[in-house]
Amino acid sequence: MPVSLRLARAHLPFLDWPRLTAAQARQEILAGFTVALLVVPQSIAYATLAGMPAITGIYAALIPAFIALLFCRSQRLGVGPTALTSMLIAASLAPLAQPGSANWVNLALWLALLSGLMQLAMGVLRAGWLMNLIASPVMMAFTQASALLIVWSQVRPLVGWTPPPNGQPFWTGAHWQACAMGLASLVLMVVLRRLAPRLPAILAAVVLAGLASWALGFEQLGGEVVGPVPSGFPALALPHWPGWTELGTLIVPAAVIALVSLLETASSARVDNQDKGLPWDQDQDMIGQGLSKIAAAFSGSFATSTSFSRSALNLAAGAQTAWANAVCIAGVALTLLLLTPLLAPVPQATLAAIVVITVVNLLKPSQWRALWRISRTEALTAAVTFVVTLITAPRIYWGVVAGIVLTLTHLLYWRLHPRIIEVGMHPDGSLRDRHLWHLPPLAPHVLALRMDAPLDFSTAPAFEKGALDALRRAPHTRHFFLFAQPINRVDASGVEAFARVLADLRRQGITLHLVGLKLPAQRLQQADPTGRELVQYRTEAEALHAISRLPGDHEPPAWGDHI
In a domain, 299, yes or no: yes
- Would you place residue 558 in the very low, low, confident or very high pLDDT band (cuts 50, 70, 90)? very low
pLDDT on residue 459:
95
Domain assignment present for residue 157? The answer is: no
pLDDT of residue 562: 39
Residues 457, 352, single domain; the answer is no
pLDDT of residue 1: 54
CA angle 421, 427, 433 (to 5 degrees): 10
Please tell me whether residues 327 and 464 are part of one structural domain: no
Q: What is the percent of the chain with per-residue pLDDT over 90, rounded to a whole number?
A: 66
* Same structural domain, 332 and 460: no
Q: What does DSSP assign to residue 339?
A: I
Q: Which residues are within 8 A (CB) of 306 and not within 5 positions of it... i.e. 6 or more apart?
A: 77, 78, 79, 82, 261, 264, 265, 267, 268, 269, 289
Domain that holds residue 433: 420-549
Q: Are residues 27 and 130 in the same domain?
A: yes
Query: Does some domain include residue 382?
Result: no
388 lies in some domain: no
Q: Tell me how far CA of residue 14 lies from CA of 70, 266, 322, 378, 476, in angstroms.
A: 5, 20, 8, 41, 71
Specify the number of domains making up the chain.
Answer: 2
C-alpha angle with apex 305: 228 to 362, nearest 5 degrees?
Answer: 95
**Predicted confidence (pLDDT) at residue 17 exceeds the cutoff of 80:** yes
pLDDT of res. 560: 38
**Does the CA dihedral 102-107-112-113 come out positive or negative?**
positive
- Residue 251 placed within a domain: yes
Please indicate whether residue 233 or residue 313 has the higher confidence score (pLDDT). 233
| pLDDT confidence of residue 273 | 76
348-399: pLDDT as tens digits: 999 999 999 988 988 999 999 999 999 999 999 999 999 999 999 888 889 9
The pLDDT score that the predictor gives to residue 264 is 85
Question: Does 349 lie in the same domain as 429?
Answer: no
**pLDDT cut 70: percent of the chain above it:** 94
- Is 353 in the same domain as 428? no
Residue 254 has pLDDT above 80, yes or no: yes
pLDDT at 434 over 80: yes
Q: Report the CATH number that the domain containing residue 521 is assigned in CATH.
A: 3.30.750.24
Same structural domain, 332 and 471: no
- What's the burial of 49, exposed, middle or buried (CB within 10 Å: 0-12/13-18/19+)? buried
Q: Which of 338, 359, 380 is the last residue of a domain?
A: 359
Shared domain for 208 and 291, answered yes or no, is: yes
Domain finish residue from 359, 375, 408: 359
Q: Are 461 and 497 contacting, i.e. CB atoms less than 8 angstroms apart?
A: yes
Mean pLDDT estimate for the chain: 89
How many CB atoms neighbour CB 21 within 10 A?
Answer: 9
pLDDT score of 402 more than 80? yes
Please tell me which of 72-81, 517-526, 544-553 the model is most confident about, judged by mean pLDDT.
72-81
Per DSSP, the three-state class of 65 is helix
Residues 429 and 348 in one domain: no
Does residue 274 lie in a domain region? yes
Mean pLDDT in residue range 267-294? 85
338 and 213 together in one domain: yes
Q: Which parts of 360-396 fold into alpha helices (H)?
A: 365-374, 376-391
Residue 310 has pLDDT above 90, yes or no: no
Q: Is the pLDDT of residue 512 over 60?
A: yes
Instruction: Read off the pLDDT of each residue in 91-97 and give the average, rounded to a whole number.
Output: 92
Report yes or no: 134 and 259 within 8 Å, Cβ to Cβ.
yes
> What pLDDT score does 432 carry?
95
What does the alpha-carbon distance between residue 279 and residue 187 come to, in Å, rounded to a whole number? 41
pLDDT tens digits, one per residue of 284-294:
999 999 999 99
pLDDT-derived band at 437, boundaries 50, 70, 90: very high
| 350 and 475 belong to one structural domain | no
- Which of 336, 359, 382 terminates a domain? The answer is 359
Instruction: Answer yes or no: do 339 and 432 share one domain.
Output: no
Q: Output the CA torsion sign for 151, 157, 160, 164.
A: positive
Does any domain span residue 5? no
Please, which pLDDT band fits residue 96 given cuts at 50, 70 and 90? very high
pLDDT tens by residue, 328-358: 999 999 999 998 999 999 999 999 999 999 8
The answer to whether residue 324 sits within a structural domain is: yes
Q: Is the pLDDT of residue 419 over 90?
A: yes
Give the DSSP H/E element, type plus range, for residue 513.
Answer: strand 511-515
